[in-house]
Structure 1
């Protein structure tokens, strides 16, 4: 027998592939919500279910409760201290789970190692519950000597496992088969009584999860149109993707500082880190929702719906008009939370959370998965800008050592067609003019929520800060407050009235938006003038200021070098409601 097989324990890592594609494969919100509920707390539900099957009526043989509030004592590694325990969840976080098994046979009936039996049953459970999600598993044997060494070996094994995973999905039908419109999957004998159609096995799994969830939350919307202001042609919503900055690097730094810790102590640290990440981001999301609920005119109005809440990976859909204020609130709030490694640790700014966000503004009938990819691309671009040398934040710790911190940034994109998924190429083609002028100033920096120092206050006025963008939008929109949704709807109706002549339409717009500094029609003209180049924009400014003395764009502030100053604002002004959270 090899030395590897003589080791007492087996450490396994689990990673579910294709969750985002699984959720966003369809444009029907019922299925999206069902898939979201299906993958929510996915590992915790699956591991608990399989543990009960492998050890029926023997709950003392396994430990699945790995986390506890920060104020309480962290649980130690119990499998090492108690010989009756055969399995213990080390922690769940970062989109994966880690479980430690005792290296022994499962029993006479099975003849398999405990870890092998558990992994088989877990893979079967994933297939049964979701039909098309795939579970990647890596395993290494260990004697619990150095966790960092096991971690490195486990990551190498996971890379191999992912590379060798088959790309094909379960067999779905014969060469000639009826397929589902929404997903392209082969139809099954499962029937959806809401749409009165047969559906695929995957869709049936999502709808069953939706039915279970709606028994607990019956008020949840079932259609994307439930989240928009105007149903139909102008029904816009926002898909928001938020991802934490440098979380993996910080975890690596923490592990390197704890090289002298025992295996059990290192696991306790990782549990603290994982718990603080999930609680920090998910608590912030819940705080944001609660703040929104307090200002809604109609308590039953559906303005937001979470899709993915997985540690520092957050995705939600909301009414387009409140997307920017919501994301700004989230990033400010999460910056006041910290990654903890132990119960006695103080709040260290070096481990304060930051995140970047991407927002895809899309019609409610725009392909959902494409919109998500655009939001993800915007988030990636925001991270790219945030990590540049000039945008990093200087921080000096108590020891006098300097550090470079990454701040929180927002990028956004309006979805005109699906080719935008190649965001960088699309922007080079559409937003950089022949004379080199860049129409986009985005992404924008969101200062930390506790930015109360003089330096931070000055930074908030930076031309790349979100506050400066909001100031420009307010200059273009309303005087003394936000335009209500009703005001916006009336203006939309006036603009779409084909029976009105151009002058009559403009008069109606000005009457129906008396609070507006600049009629929205002129904001649209400004956007069009920007796209035609600098001479056209300067000519437009002359005309606009001759008719509207309060028009905020002038020859001095229209451009900074080769960058348009107000293009982002005129593009957003139709989809912004100034709410105070």
Structure 2
């Protein structure tokens, strides 16, 4: 029997750690830290515990079919790393009492995190009798142990706050007298760690995504340099994307080799898809679609063009990026469609997205929570419709706060019904006639049709959605006289004649999105 001791590491509250600051530089640095603990600190902790040097923690990725721990001289092995998790295997037997070695590793690793990257929370599951021949059952037990430990232990990874301590302006932690930011403000150790690695984070991003463009383009860590207009239309989009049922696929893996290959396939698909949307953006810049003439004010640094987007988190099937507000919906759709070119365990890689479009000065974490809530709405719709890919978006021009469902219920419901029509299906436009009224293609066709409306008439149409049926009819007749007819799409006629059907209307979203989907990108 192939028994060993297994340690499953999970990074807890990743989103809270990464997105808790309103500074993009901090968010990028935090993401780098979370990713790097499984590259740097993990490697060094193993080297300390086993008194070794130059340990290769990527052997599992280079040779996923080979399980080295079954060989005589191998004392430990990285099972896999991915999606904020890592599985470490320690040999067990008469010559090797590895339970204590596993505990020593946990102590060494967590102490290193406390000292070097305060604020990062981890949880561990340890199985003393992990059976590689019964991998699926063993992983279930290990996950159960991990979850139990999460519920039992709430680790303190930062200094306790007291009434006489100064608050850090960048985090919710206590500021420390020996730590300052670039503005000479006292900050917490958590914020300092994020700031210090932000430059390294940008360098890694360049290596991953800009190899073909490093002499022409670069990423920024300043949110005001994403190409926005410097007026009332100064918006950014936070795009949060997650694969459909990928977690279930991991849980159903029957062997270590299978989970390794799945982890590699998911990561490759995510990385490749993001590279493709970078190529799309560069292409549109070169074609002058994304240009000053079309309202994009791209910045320059060191004679290079600052790209109007930047990745913040790419961890397995979970991706978050920030971009100029008018690119959010387009890039989310492009990314999902790129993912759908990949097969994951013989099925199409489907995913859902939430796109939060907010003013550049809007609190970043609150904007992220809106994107997360929109993603949840898209996921619910996906589960109802055969695991399809869906996208939902929300434009916040004011100060709405709270859960997105509560916001829509409180501020976007009328006696006629719900103004918000999404989520929208991404994978239903296989040809020009193959789409439903909830498809993203329908939304784009609606936007195209409304582009002929003068601005004041668009606002009149928006107001009509709040009116009673008789008044709506008069307004539509007024539009008809002026040859301003609503887009004739092959769907329910009540949308054209009454604006509403079954308490739903597609026009509010289209009017909201008209400023956030440039005409030059509608046919892309």
When normalised by structure 2's length, the TM-score is 0.85
Q: RMSD of the alignment, in Å?
A: 2.9
Contact 1:102 / 1:114 at 8 angstroms: preserved in 2? Answer: no
2:271 counterpart of 1:282: yes
Contact 2:309 2:321 in 1 (8 A): yes
For residues 63 and 373 of structure 1, the distance between their equivalents in structure 2, rounded to whole angstroms, comes to 34
Over 3 Å counting, the alpha-carbon distance change for 1:25 and 1:418 in structure 2 is farther
Structure 1 unaligned blocks of 5 or more: 1-5, 256-265, 341-347, 393-405, 478-516
The equivalent residue for 1:206 is 194
SS in 1 for 2:283: helix
Pair 1:569 & 2:504 matched: no
CA gap 1:535/1:55 in 2 versus in 1, 3 angstroms: farther
1:265-300 residue CA offsets vs partner (Å, 9 max, x unmatched)? x11111111111111122111211122112214661
CA change 1:559–1:279 in 2 (3 A) is same
1: distance between equivalents of 2:42 and 2:259?
19
User: In 1, distance between residues paired with 2:442 and 2:274?
Assistant: 24
Is the CA contact 1:7–1:103 (under 8 Å) kept in the aligned structure 2? no
Pick one of 44, 49, 54 that aligns with 2:49: 54
Q: Deviations over 1:413-448 (max 9, x none)?
A: 12356654322222223333224x222221110116
Which one of the candidate residues 464, 480, 495 is aligned to 2:438?
A: 464
Give 1:8 shift. 5.5
Per-residue CA distance 1:528-577 (angstroms, 9 max, x = gap): 33134544433433334444545648852623342112111001111111
Q: Secondary structure at the match of 1:137?
A: strand
- Which position in structure 1 is the counterpart of 2:325? 320
1:184 aligned residue (172, 183, 186)? 172
What are the within-5 Å matches in structure 2 for residues 117-516 of structure 1? 117-142=104-129, 143-166=131-154, 168-172=156-160, 174-192=162-180, 194-214=182-202, 217=206, 219-255=218-254, 266-296=255-285, 297=288, 300-340=305-345, 348=346, 351-388=347-384, 391-392=385-386, 406-416=387-397, 419-435=400-416, 437-447=417-427, 451=430, 458-460=433-435, 462-477=436-451
1:541 matches 2:476 = yes
Query: Secondary structure of the equivalent of 1:177?
Result: coil
> Which protein has the larger Cα radius of gyration, Structure 1 or Structure 2?
1
* Residue 67 (structure 1) aligned with residue 61 (structure 2): yes
Distance 1:31 1:119 in 2: 27
Secondary structure class of the residue paired with 1:131 = coil
Q: Provide the secondary structure at the position in 1 that maps to 2:132.
A: coil
Give the CA deviation at 1:231: 2.6
- Structure 1, 127-136 or 15-24: larger mean CA deviation: 127-136
Cα offset, 1:202, TM superposition: 0.6
1:180-224 Cα deviation digits (max 9, x unpaired): 223232111344452222211111000111133355659432321
1:129 Cα offset (Å): 3.1
| Aligned length, in residue pairs | 488
- Pairing of 1:79-98 with structure 2 (within 5 A): 79-81=69-71, 83-98=72-87
Determine the C-alpha separation between the residues in 1 that align with 2:99 and 2:425.
54
Check the 8 A contact 1:410/1:443 in 2, yes or no: yes
Task: Indicate conservation of the 8 Å contact 2:447/2:511, yes or no.
Answer: yes
Deviation at 1:519, TM superposition (A): 2.1
Deviates more, 1:412-421 or 1:21-30: 412-421
- TM-score, reference length from structure 1: 0.77
Q: How much does 1:49 deviate?
A: 2.6
Change over 3 Å in CA distance of 1:465–1:543 after alignment to 2: same
SS of equivalent to 2:219: coil
CA shift for structure 1 position 228: 4.4
What are the superposed Cα offsets for residues 220-248 of structure 1, whole Å, 9 maximum, x if unpaired?
32321112421354311111111111112
Cα offset for 1:84?
2.4
Partner of 1:33: 28
2:6 corresponding residue in structure 1? 11
